[in-house]
Amino acid sequence: MNVRNHPEEWAKWMGKSGKGARNHEDPPFVQDPVELGTAVVRWWKMIQPSFRENPTGVMPAQIYTAGGTAKEEWAAVCKSGPNGLLSVMMLLLWWGRTVANRPAPYHEDLHEMWKMLIDDVPCCFVQFALIPPSLPERGTKRAADNDAPVVNKKARR
Q: Residue 143: what pLDDT?
A: 59
pTM of the model: 0.73
pLDDT, tens digit, 9 for 90 and up, residues 55-96 = 999 999 999 999 988 888 998 888 887 778 888 898 898 888
Q: Which residue has the higher pLDDT, 106 or 75?
A: 75
Helix (H, G, I), strand (E, B) or coil at 89: helix
Cα separation, 139 vs 155, whole angstroms: 5
DSSP designation for 26: S
Across the chain, which distance is largest between two alpha carbons, in Å?
63
Say if residue 50's pLDDT is above 60: yes
Which residues lie closer than 8 Å to 79 by C-beta, 6 or more apart? 1, 85
Q: What angle do CA 61, 118, 69 make, to 5 degrees?
A: 50
Cα separation, 16 vs 12, whole angstroms: 8
pLDDT, tens digit, 9 for 90 and up, residues 18-29 = 665 666 677 777
Say if residue 2's pLDDT is above 80: no
Tell which residue, 91, 89, 118, has the closest CA to residue 33.
91
CA 79 to chain centre: 9
